[in-house]
Amino acid sequence: MVNEIDGLSNAEVICAETAPRFLDLGGTAFCQLEVTVEDGYEVKGAAELAEFFLRVIWALETRNEPPKLTVTLNLPQGTKFDPVAALQANGWETTRGKYVGELWGVFAHENGYFTGHTEAAEHFGSWPGKSPAAPRGLLTPSS
């Protein structure tokens, strides 16, 4: 679905448990979407694109509990896209830098951003969510 969007490629989702599950007890799920914005494209709908990536992960079902969501972006040099600022403009709580303790809000990391399931549920409703339709017009060819 992500690769259907003009200007995006190499999308891959990886989900893992942080600890082995014995008798379906314990552990925390993490799901990561890695995606490339192709050379020659500009991000026009930053907030919508950043939220779309999180919705893709939120629609995945993991064992026993909703995942923490991570998006890793491979951006061409010079691409202007700040997903954390874009999500903040859409009402997400944000912080920059390292976090301590409970994961809450949207955090930037070197090549992308992540959030916990509590924040995602507040924005997207119950988990797993409905698989989102691929948005159009959020990336345009550079002029």
Collapsing DSSP states into helix, strand and coil, what is residue 61?
coil
* pLDDT score of 101 more than 50: no
Q: Is it the case that residue 94 has pLDDT exceeding 80?
A: no
Range 13-41 average pLDDT: 76
What digits encode the pLDDT tens for the residues 35-92? 999 999 999 989 999 999 999 999 998 877 788 888 999 988 888 888 888 888 888 8
Predicted local confidence at residue 65, as pLDDT? 79
Please give the pLDDT value at position 96: 53
- Give the 3-state secondary structure of residue 121: helix
Question: 36 - beta bridge partners?
Answer: 9, 74
Phi, psi at 6, each rounded to 5°: -55, 130
pLDDT on residue 22: 47
Looking at the chain, the whole-number percentage of residues with pLDDT higher than 70 is 85
Is pLDDT of 12 > 80? Answer: yes
- Tell me: pLDDT of 99 over 70: no
Query: Quick one: angle between helices 117-124 and 46-58, nearest 10?
Result: 110
Confidence at residue 63, expressed as pLDDT on a 0 to 100 scale: 78
Query: 18-22, 23-27, 86-90: which has the minimum mean pLDDT?
Result: 23-27
